[in-house]
């Protein structure tokens, strides 16, 4: 079945809000549904690395605006991503997947430290690798951490799961006339200031020719459809076909 797939190794980026709204922390049923979607792809033989945010519990930038030291606020946010990662690990292992959590900040009783070659070996053995604590550095988002890990682990694509079905020129929730982009270049996304990913993450993907697909994780089967080559969401790459 693997021969039918477009992608064989992916980096899936989940926002913390995908697991539960801020203030509600984690919704167990939502976590189980996400784990089920990942399992559908894992069963196809796809090698899966994941990065999850912590915005459902803590946002460093917002906390810093209240007067907390920014570096301190960001470290707290990294710990939030570890909590989310452990919850995801539990849900996926209950569905029969073998997983490993690796953290950018060492905490041996909880998870392995991130070691690139060890992570690659886990992927080769069919284990889902959940990469926590961002990049381990303050002032960098988990989007940037996802871009960095995707490049380090030689993923074929970075998949950013959101609550909308792609990238729009305006908020489609509030503007019914917002235009959806089917394909978009890195430079156009950067120049337009589209809030798909921060500029550091986009630039890192651009410099390393790492394609990005922004899609709706809430749409059942969307992740599997992308693996099989279906056009879901918005592809960000070197070529902007809308301008070609």
240 annotated as belonging to a binding site for a ligand: no
114 is in an annotated binding site: no
215 assigned ligand-binding residue:
no
**162 annotated as a binding-site residue:** yes
Instruction: Confirm or deny that 16 is annotated as ligand binding.
Output: yes
Is 139 marked as a binding-site residue? Answer: yes
Residue 13 annotated in ligand binding: yes
Annotated binding-site residue? 140: yes
36 is in an annotated binding site: no
According to the annotation, is 144 in a ligand binding site?
no
Strands 9-14, 47-52: pairing kind: parallel
Give the CA distances from residue 242 to residues 18, 112, 168, 183, 199, in Å, rounded to whole numbers and listed in that order.
30, 43, 13, 7, 21
- Does 135 belong to an annotated binding site? yes
121 annotated ligand-binding residue:
no
Cα separation, 100 vs 130, in Å, equals 6
Q: Is 14 among the annotated ligand-binding positions?
A: yes
103 a known binding residue? Answer: no
| 176 marked ligand binding residue | no
Q: Tell me whether residue 4 is exposed, middle or buried, using C-beta atoms within 10 angstroms of its C-beta: 0 to 12, 13 to 18, 19 or more.
A: exposed
Give me the sign of the Cα torsion angle 8, 11, 97, 116. positive
Neighbouring residues of 25: CB distance < 8 A, sequence distance ≥ 6: 56, 57
Annotated binding-site positions for ATP: 13-16, 55, 59, 162, 168, 171
Annotated binding-site positions for UMP: 54, 74, 135-142
Annotated binding-site positions: 13-16, 54-55, 59, 74, 135-142, 162, 168, 171
């Amino acid at each position: 079945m693997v021969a039918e797939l477009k992608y064989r190794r992916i980096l899936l980026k989940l926002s913390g809000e995908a697991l539960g709204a801020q203030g509600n922390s984690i919704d167990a049923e939502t976590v189980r549904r996400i784990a089920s979607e990942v399992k559908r792809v894992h069963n196809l033989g796809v090698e899966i690395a994941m990065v999850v945010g912590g915005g459902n519990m803590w946002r460093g930038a917002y906390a810093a605006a209240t007067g907390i030291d920014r570096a301190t606020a960001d470290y707290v946010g990294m710990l939030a991503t570890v909590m989310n990662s452990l919850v995801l690990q539990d849900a996926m292992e209950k569905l029969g997947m073998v997983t490993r959590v690796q953290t950018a900040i060492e905490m041996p009783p909880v998870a392995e430290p991130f070691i690139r070659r060890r992570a690659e070996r886990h992927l080769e053995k069919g284990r889902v690798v959940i990469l926590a604590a961002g990049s381990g550095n303050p002032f960098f988002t988990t989007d940037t951490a996802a871009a960095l890990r995707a490049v380090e682990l030689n993923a074929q694509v970075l998949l950013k799961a959101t609550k909308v079905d792609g990238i729009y020129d305006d908020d489609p929730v509030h503007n019914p006339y917002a235009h959806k982009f089917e394909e978009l270049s890195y430079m156009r996304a950067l120049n337009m200031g589209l809030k798909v990913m921060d500029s550091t993450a986009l630039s890192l993907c651009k410099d390393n020719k790492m394609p990005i697909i922004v899609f709706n994780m809430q749409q059942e089967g969307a992740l599997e459809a992308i693996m099989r080559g279906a056009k879901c969401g918005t592809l960000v790459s070197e070529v902007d076909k809308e301008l070609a």
